Amino acid sequence: MSETAPSKTGHTVIQAALKGIDGSPGVYRMLDAQGAVLYVGKANNLKARVTSYARPTGHSPRIARMIRDTASMMFLTTATESEALLLEQNLIKQLKPRYNVLLRDDKSFPNILLPSAHVFPALKKHRGAKKEKGDYFGPFASAGAVNRTLNQLQKVFLLRNCTDATFEARTRPCLQYQIKRCAAPCVGYISEEDYGALVSDAKRFLRGRTTGVQESLAKEMQEAAAAHEFERAAALRDRLKALTFVQGTQAINPSGVAEADVVALHMESGQACIQVFFIRANQNWGNRDYYPRTGGAEAAEVMQAFLGQFYDGKEPPRQIILSDAIEDVDLMEEALSVKAERKVEILVPQRGEKKELVAGALRNARESLARKMSETATQAKLLKGIAEAFDLDEPPKRIEVYDNSHIQGTNAVGGMIVAGPDGFLKSQYRKFNIKDESLTPGDDFGMMKEVLNRRFKRLLKEDPDRESDAWPDLLLIDGGAGQVSAVRQIMRDLGVEHVAMVGVAKGVDRDHGKEEFHRTGQRPFALKRGDPVLYFIQRLRDEAHRFAIGAHRAKRAKAVGATPLDEVPGVGSARKRALLAHFGSAKAVSRAALSDLKAVEGVSDKLAETIYAYFHAD
């Protein structure tokens, strides 16, 4: 790795950098005078690529600005260009350079999982690392797409969706059996062999072999009717109808495309929307739209950068069908094929079914961008209105709103929501489990102090120079002058200045619409009823309240089902059930003698000693 000294800026700096590099493949970084990364790029020949930047003329306005701001360069050579491509996209996601195309929202996708460890596996949704053994089907575009598919599959294949703990505790069939969505294996209404056949049918369907499943169901129905087993025939008929409905509700059912992602790009007025459709097993498993930051790049660069970043943490499908060609298609295919450990094909179709798929995705991208631009314009007006109402220097790019939720101090949670030019930024929301046990139950200010301390101490540690967009421009505080003054003091104690804050008090009669706004050293004021800015602030406060309550309820629900046994090393769900069944309660377990613990079925002598030691530390 080499680096030039930041004595000058512009193409003369780049010319000087040429002396330290050769024609190797690798990645280069362009930095400004403060050391911030402006651009990350890859090259098959570093010297040739950097030479193109060293010319004083002949660049697009975007590239010319980038060259003008460059004060130094860094280089890292690689063995191959495909390795450089993967490293480039990884660095872009980490460093978020100003002049690169950047995929801003890249969450994981849910799958359907059929575990292999249980003789009666549940059909369930799964998100995250694939650590549990079993068959995974996906990805689906959203949790909603998975839920819709699971809902219909339960009607067709009658597989359970309960947890293993619930399954083992059942003594009679649940509602799912009554409404014909489960075969009730928990109470022995179906044999292991017959349930296994249902699991096999579900796997066949999720792998796209729907015709065989339909034929099998139709044959069983006819045989049941011929044997005068009319109730069973009717049940099979209902399952066949449900299967037909699943297939009929697929928005796209491409007969000639078994496994592909359809990626369509629409650009307008410097903004872009990329629509991705997930085709698996010849079925549409949903779609999702993305709005990458383009930095003025052309369509080919936007598409290539999107693909590199999108598949950085995901397994690519066998085919990727694009609306726009990319420059390094062979290189991208090679890099993705190495990642997937099988061949990945990238194509831009000119005719036929694949072209129709792209046209549908492109229409969605165009319509989504139009809606986004309309919403952004409205949001920009509201943020400008907030700046005018609260005398801010400019419209805030990041507003943070805080709220607490608890019941008489129990299961206390603090919530933070974030809004900006793109509306609510839900990926930025944070919850804070209140940890200070010395707080008086119901001490809202004490909770707020803990939340703000944790939030801003971490910010100061991670970004002391405030170079990232994680720092808020405006804090909205639930309360009046006293709360604002107290929060201001907390921020001063932390050494945080120049963050605007406004207290939102309920106002006269605590009436929605008569809110008063408080700022340090200024008289409170109110906005007119019907003012869009007032409605916007109410929405922000309501969203913070909703998020905090949701976090509190989740914590409370978890606590209700918790017992002291959850904390004992080596005690899992099966042994916990055995202990509770033997002693009747967790308290009785904690008081049990060592010999009694050893008598419990499934509890070894060593584990009995661990349990006893946990409750008798002295």
The pLDDT assigned to 242 comes to 60
Number of domains in the chain: 5
231 plus 115 within the same structural domain: yes
Cα separation values, 6 from 13, 67, 74, 286, Å: 8, 13, 11, 49
For residue 383, being part of any structural domain is answered with no
* Final residue in a domain of this structure, among 71, 95, 119: 95
Least Cα distance to 301 among 1, 60, 575 occurs for 60
Residue owning tokens 């609510």: 424
Residues of the domain holding 83: 2-95
The pLDDT assigned to 305 comes to 93
For residue 392, being part of any structural domain is answered with no
Instruction: Tell me the two tokens of residue 183.
Output: 């075969």
173 plus 309 within the same structural domain: no
Report the CATH number that the domain containing residue 54 is assigned in CATH: 3.40.1440.10
For residue 496, being part of any structural domain is answered with yes
> What span, in angstroms and rounded, lies between the C-alpha atoms of 493 and 321?
55
Dump pLDDT digits (tens) for 411-430: 788 889 999 988 898 888 99
CA dihedral angle for residue 536, residue 538, residue 540, residue 543, rounded to 10 degrees = -130
74 plus 115 within the same structural domain: no
438 plus 511 within the same structural domain: yes
Dump pLDDT digits (tens) for 494-538: 888 889 999 998 765 545 567 899 998 888 898 988 889 999 999
For residue 33, being part of any structural domain is answered with yes
223 plus 333 within the same structural domain: no
582 plus 434 within the same structural domain: no
Considering only residues 489 and 219, tell me which one the structure prediction assigns the higher pLDDT: 489
141 plus 72 within the same structural domain: no
Instruction: Tell me the two tokens of residue 34.
Output: 């403060």
554 plus 572 within the same structural domain: no
Is the pLDDT score of 571 beyond 50?
Answer: yes
DSSP state of 100: S
326 plus 202 within the same structural domain: no
The pLDDT assigned to 6 comes to 46
For residue 226, being part of any structural domain is answered with yes
Helices (H), 263-317: 299-310
85 plus 206 within the same structural domain: no
Q: Is there a contact between 614 and 571 (Cβ–Cβ < 8 Å)? A: no
SS3 414: strand
For residue 386, being part of any structural domain is answered with no
Amino acid in the structure at residue 387: A
> In DSSP terms, which residues pair with 113 in a beta bridge?
124, 136
For residue 490, being part of any structural domain is answered with yes
- The pTM for the full model equals 0.70
For residues 344-355, average pLDDT: 94
SS3 264: strand
> In DSSP terms, which residues pair with 114 in a beta bridge?
135
Is the pLDDT score of 560 beyond 80?
Answer: no
SS3 39: strand
Q: Is there a contact between 259 and 278 (Cβ–Cβ < 8 Å)? A: no
Is the pLDDT score of 289 beyond 60?
Answer: yes
Least Cα distance to 113 among 105, 121, 104 occurs for 121
491 plus 588 within the same structural domain: no
> What span, in angstroms and rounded, lies between the C-alpha atoms of 24 and 48?
10
> What span, in angstroms and rounded, lies between the C-alpha atoms of 36 and 29?
10
Q: Is there a contact between 387 and 350 (Cβ–Cβ < 8 Å)? A: no
Q: Is there a contact between 290 and 103 (Cβ–Cβ < 8 Å)? A: yes
Q: How many residues does the chain have?
A: 618
Cα atoms found within 13 Å of the Cα of residue 90, Cβ hemisphere only: 10
Is the pLDDT score of 47 beyond 50?
Answer: yes
> What span, in angstroms and rounded, lies between the C-alpha atoms of 474 and 500?
5
Using CB atoms within 10 Å of the CB of residue 172, give its burial: 0 to 12 exposed, 13 to 18 middle, 19+ buried.
exposed
For residues 462-475, average pLDDT: 85
For residue 264, being part of any structural domain is answered with yes
464 plus 544 within the same structural domain: yes
Report the CATH number that the domain containing residue 583 is assigned in CATH: 1.10.150.20
